[in-house]
Amino acid sequence: RIGGIRYHWIQADDSPHEDLLTHFPEAYDIIDKCVVSGTGILMHCMAGVSQSTTIVCSYLMKKRRKTYEEIHSLVQCRRPIISPNHGFVAQLGLWEGMGFRLDANNKQFRHYMREMYSLHTFPVKKMDQYFPRLDGREYYPSVEFRQTVCLTILNV
């Protein structure tokens, strides 16, 4: 590490099933802080083709209020080899559709989160961040919740 340089790492594989969408807001804040302060920023991934391109596009889409297609063309003029995988492109489309923010009430976002969770690429605590668990006792105080297999009483 080099002193005076701020590092931020997003663990992400170049897979259509990898989640970058939930990192977009934080990445935006980090990039924008550097841009506003005049600090340089280096974005990179393994080949500079997919993951870093997706993060850069998400930032520019929000900053300029432009569509993915418009921003993709803009970025491609500066770096012709960019090619975000189709999963990342879909996430950028969802980002655009939600007005460049994560909206837990958006049906497509909820579907996306369920899909990521079902593919086991999403930790439960990340799901809880967007969709808090309901406490069943609050709604049904006289009902006991039990697991169907062993009939253990659950503290829901």
Report d(CA 146, CA 123) in Å as an integer.
24
DSSP 55: H
In order of their start, the domains of the chain are 21-139 (3.90.190.10)
Which pLDDT belongs to residue 83? Answer: 96
- pLDDT, tens only, 2-16: 776 777 889 889 999
For every residue of 74-109, DSSP letters joined together read HHHHH-TT----HHHHHHHHHHHHTTSS--TT-HHH
Who has greater pLDDT, 67 or 41? 67
Q: Mean of the per-residue pLDDT values for the chain?
A: 84
- pLDDT, tens only, 91-149: 999 999 999 999 988 999 999 988 888 876 666 666 666 666 555 556 566 666 555 55
Report d(CA 39, CA 155) in Å as an integer.
50
Which pLDDT belongs to residue 68? Answer: 98
| The pair of three-digit structure tokens given for residue 63, joined into one six-digit string | 């900053």
pLDDT of 21 > 70? The answer is yes
DSSP 153: B
Q: Give the CA-trace dihedral at 105, 110, 112, 115, to 10 degrees.
A: 170
Could you tell me if 154 and 147 are in contact, meaning their C-beta atoms sit under 8 angstroms apart?
Answer: yes
pLDDT of 67 > 80? The answer is yes
Who has greater pLDDT, 140 or 55? 55
Report d(CA 156, CA 106) in Å as an integer.
26
In this prediction the pTM is 0.78
Catalytically active residues are 45
